Amino acid sequence: MEKWLVEGLMPERAIDRLQKGGICVFSVKKIEKKQILFCINKKDLEKAFAIYPNMCYNSSCGSVYSFTRVGALDARARKIAMQRLIAVCLGVCCFFLLVGGFSPFVLRIKTVGADVYKRETLEILKENGITLYSPYPSGKENAVCSKILALDGVEFCSLQKRGNTVIVEIRTNVFSSARQSEGDLISPCDGVVESAVTLGGTLLKKSGEKVLVGEKLVGAYFVNGEGENGSVTKTAVVAKVKLVCEKTFERESIQDGVAEARLYVESLGGTIIEIVTDGTSATARYSVTVKKNM
């Protein structure tokens, strides 16, 4: 079975002439005023050529009617479509291989633990050929950890690659002389203290207490004694505090408000609990953990 397109003035006459010539015509469909699609058996092609000598596989010339074999065009179209489909499938497979961790490339570097040594850690990784968007050089774990363990106060280090992420975990002795970030631990937002862990410094806000943005959560000091005999000694804050906060964003549309809320929470390193919309405003309720020297 082959599909053809006949084009010309009153193409029905061409179909009628083929039928009168003993050719069975199937699936006749008029698509435009001067165009009709139809199918004929391959065994009848010789008869069709005899009725319309100028009929060929491309088009006819010098005839009232123009014939085009659509089947050939369909085949080429199917071939092109199949090639495109294969290309898309290969692209999708490569994408999932990449994000699924089967790629040797490093797409993210995550440091866990002592943020105070983050800059030194990235430099040590770079010295050993571990950088973003480059292949991961296996066998460098011991060399990297040896240099990190040589940093003052570092007592534990591990390096591993999970998927496309390189994770460096560092632990320091909080009572060592390692370089520590100075100053108080400050609240980045208005909210309520959910939990707190303090190894160094004085906790100023307990669980359930409200705090304002910029307010001290942990003071960089500790108090010896009580009353008039007490003394204050400066110390490094070693603590982390989890807050639950809310913030409302007024924008021209709900979508803009929600987008702004998500960006804001992301900038704080927080986690969205819920976003409530009302009119053109979006109120984000989120948790955020602030820490110093942990």
Our count of domains for the chain comes to 3
Q: Measure the CA–CA gap between 142 and 123, rounded to whole angstroms.
A: 16
Is the pTM above the cut of 0.75?
no
pLDDT of residue 99: 53
Parallel/antiparallel/unpaired status of strands 35-40 and 108-113: unpaired
Q: For position 119, which CATH number holds?
A: 3.10.20
> Residue 59's pLDDT band (boundaries 50, 70, 90)?
very low
Number of alpha carbons in the 13 Å side-chain half-sphere of residue 110: 11
Q: Which domain holds residue 214?
A: 185-292
> Residue 210's pLDDT band (boundaries 50, 70, 90)?
very high
Rounded to the nearest 10 degrees, the angle between the axes of helix 118-127 and helix 141-149 is 140
pLDDT of residue 58: 44
| Residue 87 burial (10 A CB sphere; 0-12, 13-18, 19+) | exposed
> Residue 73's pLDDT band (boundaries 50, 70, 90)?
very low
Same structural domain, 152 and 190: no
Q: Measure the CA–CA gap between 191 and 288, rounded to whole angstroms.
A: 10
Extract the tokens encoding 225. 């004694």
Q: For position 42, which CATH number holds?
A: 3.30.70
* Rg from Cα positions in the chain: 37
User: pLDDT tens digit string along 135-175?
Assistant: 999 888 989 988 988 887 788 889 999 888 999 988 876 55
CB atoms closer than 10 angstroms to residue 78: 10
**Domain termination site, one of 27, 52, 73:** 73
For residue 50, the one-letter residue type is A
Q: Is residue 141 part of a domain?
A: yes
Q: Is residue 281 part of a domain?
A: yes
Q: Is residue 266 part of a domain?
A: yes
Q: Is residue 276 part of a domain?
A: yes
3-class secondary structure, 41: coil
Q: Is residue 85 part of a domain?
A: no
Q: Measure the CA–CA gap between 139 and 146, rounded to whole angstroms.
A: 13
| Residue 38 burial (10 A CB sphere; 0-12, 13-18, 19+) | buried
